[in-house]
Amino acid sequence: MRLQYSSSIKIIRLPCTGKVDLLHILRAFEKGIDGLYVVGCLEGECHYKSGNLRAKKRVAQAKEILEKVGIGGDRVEMFNLSSSEAPRFVQAAEEMAARVKNLGPNPLRKAFKKMAA
């Protein structure tokens, strides 16, 4: 459909969102990413039965941890859509891009700068 979405988003493809591990999310934020969102199949329609449900739980855990350590739970989110719903994909992309822009850069970036100095 050649729809456009924010260029600040990098896509990492997986066979199933069930492959996303809590550590992937946490270590990415530890290294300074500003936001992360996981896009999986609609609930009940996971190709691998329950991968997207595991991802949902892991994203929820990540939210809680990031909130508690002061990075911000809003920086991570889970979206469910069918692979045929291109406009919804774009909507999710734009929503996350706007949200993360609003939240500002990862607070750890300041710490990195200080350590480099």
Partner 1 sequence: MIVADKKPIEEIIEEIRDYERILVAGCNECVTVCEAGGKKEVAVLASALRMYFMNQGKDVQIDEVTLERQCDHEYLEEIRDRVGGYDAILSLACGVGVQFMAEKYFSKPVLPGVNTAFMGGAEERGVWSERCQGCGQCILARTAGICPISRCAKRLLNGPCGGSTKGKCEISKDVDCAWQLIIDRLKELDRLDDYEQVMPIKDWSTERAGGPRKIIREDIRL
Residue numbers at the binding site for partner 1 (CB under 8 A): 22-23, 26-27, 29-30, 65-66, 68-71, 107-108, 111, 114-115
Which of 108, 51, 52 has its CA nearest to residue 75?
Answer: 108
Closest approach of Cβ 77 to partner 1, in Å?
18
Closest approach of Cβ 75 to partner 1, in Å?
12
Note the Cα 50 to chain centre separation in Å.
19
Q: Which is nearer to partner 1, 58 or 93 (CB)?
A: 58
Other residues' Cβ atoms within 10 Å of the Cβ of residue 24: 15
Q: Which is nearer to partner 1, 60 or 90 (CB)?
A: 60
Closest approach of Cβ 89 to partner 1, in Å?
29
Name residue 85's amino acid.
E
Closest approach of Cβ 34 to partner 1, in Å?
13
Which of 90, 16, 12 has its CA nearest to residue 49?
Answer: 16
DSSP three-state, residue 66: helix
Q: Which is nearer to partner 1, 94 or 107 (CB)?
A: 107
